[in-house]
Amino acid sequence: MSRVYNFSAGPAMLPEAVLSKAAAELLEFGSTGESVMEMSHRSKEYQAIIDGVEANLREVMSIPDNYKVLFLQGGASSQFAMIPLNLLNGSGKADFVITGQWANKAYQEASRYGDCKVIASSKDKTFSYIPELNPADFREDADYFHICLNNTIYGSRFTKLPETGNVPLIADVSSCILSEPIDVTKFGLLYAGAQKNMGPAGLTVVIVRDDLIGKARDITPTMFNYQIHAENGSMYNTPPTYGIYILGLVLDWVKENGGLEGMKAHNEKKAALLYDFLDNSKMFKATVAGADRSLMNIPFVTGNDDLDAKFVKEAKAQGFINLKGHRSVGGMRASIYNAMPIEGVEKLVAFMKEFEAANA
């Protein structure tokens, strides 16, 4: 078997230790005589698994008791509707910062349900930076304020949170959850699709403050109501049982590797390796500048489409896969989530040096 270095933005690499553990337990979990995949979600064996995963996530992320953890489906994209259907129910106003395609989708979907305002946007420069925010533009009576904390496609991230006062701050953390410590108390709600940094696709994690539950509009579908899922321990219907189990293994791995502080150090080291090379290369250039650079998703270009294509092709042949950039940015993008080992980045940089020398 030869495993490649997978730089996909998602679904993405999982730690090998997690896959091996899952493989070892695939046919029989513990001494249950069955696979986790085959378990009734109403069984006491499965209840122990989901309770353990929730406790693990609360411990790793230091989630306070006044927040619920919900294990849902439908991806981060369903949250674009679920959030307004549950929260855009006071003044009917919500504020948004448009830092990329996902932030914009959240804004567009919410706009179907209320008065949504763009506070700032970085569209003018292909979302290559985080715009300055003027708190005077924030609406004090808004039901929430939405940001995308890490912009998966464009490779930028917020390093300073907007001060929204009593207005709940909501963040899409799909591509940065578990990558470094996060102060949950600064947010009313956090949400993430699992397939970037938490596990396989199919699981969506929502962390929501208690006082924001129970405000859904009358028309909200039952399956889209946070209260229903909170009251039923994410078991109103069948939850994504296997994905939740894998998240548990990922959390064990995070804990064994220093928790979120450990992840931060590991991720900063990897990102620095690649950014340092990019900043010194004559051929490759990072598309995001300075402090706004993501630790997780690093887009870069040569400035020549043919050369970009040649690079992606040759990299693939060397076992560095999924380096093609998003079509809206072009060039390349290396997504280096928690599971990407340092050697993966070191070897990629070594290959980029060779490529640069050979094509100068």
Ligand X SMILES: *Cc1c(COP(=O)(O)O)cnc(C)c1O
Site string for ligand X, 221-250 (x = CB under 6 A): ------------------------------
Q: How many residues bind ligand X (CB under 6 A)?
A: 12
Which residues have CB under 8 Å from 272's CB, separation 6+?
none
| 298 forms part of the interface with ligand X (CB under 6 A) | no
Among 5, 6, 7, 10, binds ligand X (CB under 6 A): 10
The amino acid at residue 213 is I
| 143 forms part of the interface with ligand X (CB under 6 A) | no
Stretch of 44-52, 70-78, 125-133, 261-269 lying at the interface with ligand X (CB under 6 A)? 70-78
| 329 forms part of the interface with ligand X (CB under 6 A) | no
| 152 forms part of the interface with ligand X (CB under 6 A) | yes
CB of 80 to ligand X, least distance (A): 8
- Which three-class secondary structure state does DSSP give residue 150? strand
Q: How many other C-beta atoms lie within 10 A of the C-beta of residue 8?
A: 17
Nearest to 310 by CA among 292, 335, 276, 284: 284
| 77 forms part of the interface with ligand X (CB under 6 A) | yes
β 297-301/285-286 pair status: antiparallel
Among 174, 225, 234, 335, binds ligand X (CB under 6 A): 174
Query: Which segments within the chain are labelled E, that is strand?
Result: 5-6, 67-72, 93-98, 115-121, 144-148, 150-151, 156-157, 169-172, 189-193, 204-209, 285-286, 297-301, 320-321, 332-335
Of 20 and 328, nearer to ligand X (C-beta) is 328
Stretch of 72-80, 162-170, 280-288, 308-316 lying at the interface with ligand X (CB under 6 A)? 72-80
Nearest to 67 by CA among 237, 201, 207: 207
| 199 forms part of the interface with ligand X (CB under 6 A) | no
Among 22, 57, 72, 76, binds ligand X (CB under 6 A): 76
Query: What token pair was written down for 43?
Result: 């069984």
Among 142, 147, 148, 246, binds ligand X (CB under 6 A): 148
Instruction: Decide: 353 and 27 in contact? Cβ < 8 Å.
Output: no
Query: What token pair was written down for 107?
Result: 């804004």
Residues at the interface with ligand X (CB under 6 A): 10, 75-77, 102, 148, 152, 172, 174-175, 193, 196
- Looking at the annotation, which residues are catalytic? 102, 172, 196
